[in-house]
Amino acid sequence: MVKLLYFARLRERLDCATESLELPAGVSTVGALRLWLAGRGGEWQAALAQDQSVRVAVNQDMASDATPVQDHDEVAFFPPVTGG
């Protein structure tokens, strides 16, 4: 079971702040997880598609598409932050 967290506009767009799920077979990286989540269709596809700018952290460390994801991890999705 992994814990997924969604922040800022992603949380609003998906109407979901957190969820826990079993990793589907073959999903072992951040990129594969994001692709699987986008496969839910609708807003999930629109918000998490590969052409969307989304940052990801695994266990509070910044992650790339190649970062491994495994049971008991916490994976956070959030939009890039700009300041000024």
**Rounded to whole angstroms, how far apart are CA atoms 39 and 43?**
10
Tens digits of residue pLDDT in 18-58: 999 999 999 999 999 999 999 999 999 999 988 888 999 99
pTM for the structure as a whole? 0.92
Note the pLDDT of residue 52. Answer: 82
Tokens in use for 20? 């826990």
| pLDDT greater than 80 at residue 81 | no
Tens digits of residue pLDDT in 58-68: 999 999 999 99
**Rounded to whole angstroms, how far apart are CA atoms 60 and 64?**
13
Can you say whether residue 72 is alpha, beta or left, with left for phi > 0 and alpha for psi between -120 and 50 degrees?
Answer: left
The CATH architecture one would assign to domain 2-78 is Roll (3.10)
Query: Across residues 10-16, what is the average pLDDT?
Result: 94
Kindly list the domain boundaries of the chain, sorted by start residue.
2-78
Task: Cite the DSSP H helix spans in 1-84.
Answer: 8-14, 30-38, 42-48
